[in-house]
Amino acid sequence: MAIVFIAAVLICLLLLLVLYRNLPNKKVFYGFCLVLALTIGAIGQALLFQPKAEPPSEIALRRIAAQQQIFDDWYTSYKKQLDTLDYNWAQGQKIVNDYHNDNISLNTAYTRLNLLEHQAQVTNQELSKLAPPISLDDTNYDLAASILNKTIAYSEKQLTAITALKANANPANLSTDNHQEESRILQETMLRNGPDALFTAAETNSLRQNLTLPEN
């Protein structure tokens, strides 16, 4: 801020020099100088004498630290389920790719998707149990709840996609005996039913700001 103020003063001095050389009426020039000097003085005084923010009290620091610990404990459990979601989706992609590359049969793909569906159901249930701790402050609780709600919606969409994949890979439901055509059906099913990307950066950044101890 001080650098900007100095730069503005230098620009004003250059402007005054130009006006001094070009204004025929020096009284107008001196009046302009007076107004400009008073303005610069007022701005400079405001910048120099800004009240310093009071450092947070010991109680406030302890509260932030406690909130940080509460959230970290919850987030550790949440992150475990988030990693499982990533793993489940990667496994679904691998099954589809393995079948596409003729590395596995349709029966094997169906068996693996059946197991994957069960794992996705378990993950979805575990996420539903992860309500944020009520000991979080209202603001932090709402942010954590928003993260969880978005993740549950993502998990449910993922489960829907895996269930649809399993149904289309079921040999009993086979609509074609052409390997390429069946592979295309599975790939389109994954693309059509797959979840959108999970975006929680805004909530995470706000929580980081709220739970960061201020520097001395």
pLDDT, position 215: 67
For the chain, the straight-line distance linking the first and the last C-alpha, in angstroms and rounded, comes to: 21
Mean pLDDT, residues 137-150 taken together: 96
Structure tokens, 48: 């120099």
Q: Is 137 helix (H, G, I), strand (E, B) or coil?
A: coil
Q: Is 213 helix (H, G, I), strand (E, B) or coil?
A: coil
- pLDDT at residue 49 greater than cutoff 70: no
Q: What are 189-199's pLDDT values in tens digits?
A: 999 999 999 99
- Of 95 and 31, the structure prediction assigns the larger pLDDT to 95
The closest of 111, 95, 110 to 169, measured between CA atoms, is 110
pLDDT, position 214: 78
- pLDDT at residue 60 greater than cutoff 60: yes
Q: What is the pTM of this model?
A: 0.73
pLDDT, position 73: 95
pLDDT grade, residue 8 (50/70/90)? low
Q: With contact defined as beta carbons under 8 Å apart, do 71 and 145 qualify?
A: no
Q: What are 22-38's pLDDT values in tens digits?
A: 656 555 556 656 666 66
- pLDDT at residue 179 greater than cutoff 70: yes
- Non-local CB neighbours of 166 within 8 Å, separated by 6+ positions: 110, 113, 114, 116, 117
CA dihedral 70→72→76→78, nearest 10 degrees, is 70
3-state secondary structure 88-101: HHHHHHHHHHHHHC
